[in-house]
Amino acid sequence: MNSSQLMGFTTFAYLAASFLYIAIFVFRAKKLGIIASVFTLIAFLVQTAAFGLRWMESYQIGYGHAPLTNMYESLVFFAWAIVLFYLGLEYKFKNRLIGAFAVPFAFLSMALATLTGDEIKPLIPALQSNWLIAHVMTCFVGYAAFAVACGMGIMYLLKSYGIEKSSGKKGREESLLSTLPDLNVIDDVTHKTIVFGFLWLSAGIISGAIWANSAWGTYWSWDPKETWSLITWFVYAGALHARFTKGWGGKRIAWLAIIGFVSVVFTYYGVNYLLSGLHSYGSAG
């Protein structure tokens, strides 16, 4: 069995886990919780093994590089990082409903990966650097946190609008949305997740600048990917600044979490296909 086959299993496992988490939310079937968690953990472990196997396969065919250099590999790592971050949240907060708003992002990332070529290719000279792993991993850990923050933002808005719509009606606490965590809890987790992602994105931009200087002799060239990374950084910097100085929270931060992730998706995915630049060949940073 090769890495591609294991990745295929992972894709379907994340799909199944997504359905299970959503079923917990929609049908309030708490008994499915342990099954969803086990599915997710097994898929994560299989994906980790597949990731390591693909790394070994690159050495076996004579290329020998970390599997982080093209669109397929970056999407796979993105999904892996999302699930790792989610499992950490599930363990910390003991709430599996978050999975309904986080794990589907991992499935979508893996599904997109299946639409791209999974061939292992040699690195071009500019990518043959020790900074490759540092830059890509820091960026995608940040992206993963932002994906989960987006899911938390959606969760907050759903519950907030649901409470407003049912305000004054009897039995509203028995509604579907009442199973979600309290609004202040969702808001706090969203904020902390954005902070975590922002720190990692900042590290990714800094490591990328150092790498660019060693590869091209300049720290910043206003390449489309670099420009949109900076735009994304400012979106989240603005959100955190508003939080710390003006006390923004609730719907405002929820919307900023969603808008920020839209910027992340365009920075990562859209730029590679719509704008040409130094990063177009790599599609991973």
- Name the band, by pLDDT with cuts 50, 70 and 90, for residue 276: low
What's the rounded Cα separation, in Å, for the pair 155 and 132?
A: 35
Contact criterion met (CB below 8 Å) for 160 and 185: no
Separation CA 70–CA 67 (nearest Å): 8
Q: What is the mean pLDDT of the chain?
A: 90
The structure's pTM equals: 0.93
- pLDDT tops 60 at residue 284: no
Name the one residue in this structure whose structure tokens are 């002799």: 217
pLDDT digits (tens, 9 = 90+) for 139-178: 999 999 999 999 999 999 999 988 877 765 544 445 678 8
Residues in the chain: 285
Q: What percentage of the chain has pLDDT greater than the value 90?
A: 70
| pLDDT at 280 (0 to 100) | 53
Residue 198's pLDDT band (boundaries 50, 70, 90)? very high
CB 260 within 8 A of CB 147: no
Q: What is the largest CA-CA distance in the chain?
A: 68
Nearest residue to 263 (alpha-carbon basis) of 240, 285, 239, 231:
231
Amino acid sitting at position 162: G
pLDDT on residue 241:
97
Q: Which residues contact 68 (CB under 8 A, 6 or more apart)?
A: 74, 77, 132, 133, 136, 137, 284
Strand locations in 142-263, DSSP E? Answer: none
Per-residue CA distances from 45 to 80, 122, 137 (Å): 9, 27, 18
Half-sphere exposure of 117 (CA within 13 A, CB side): 6
Delimit the domains of the chain by residue range. Answer: 1-123, 124-164+175-285
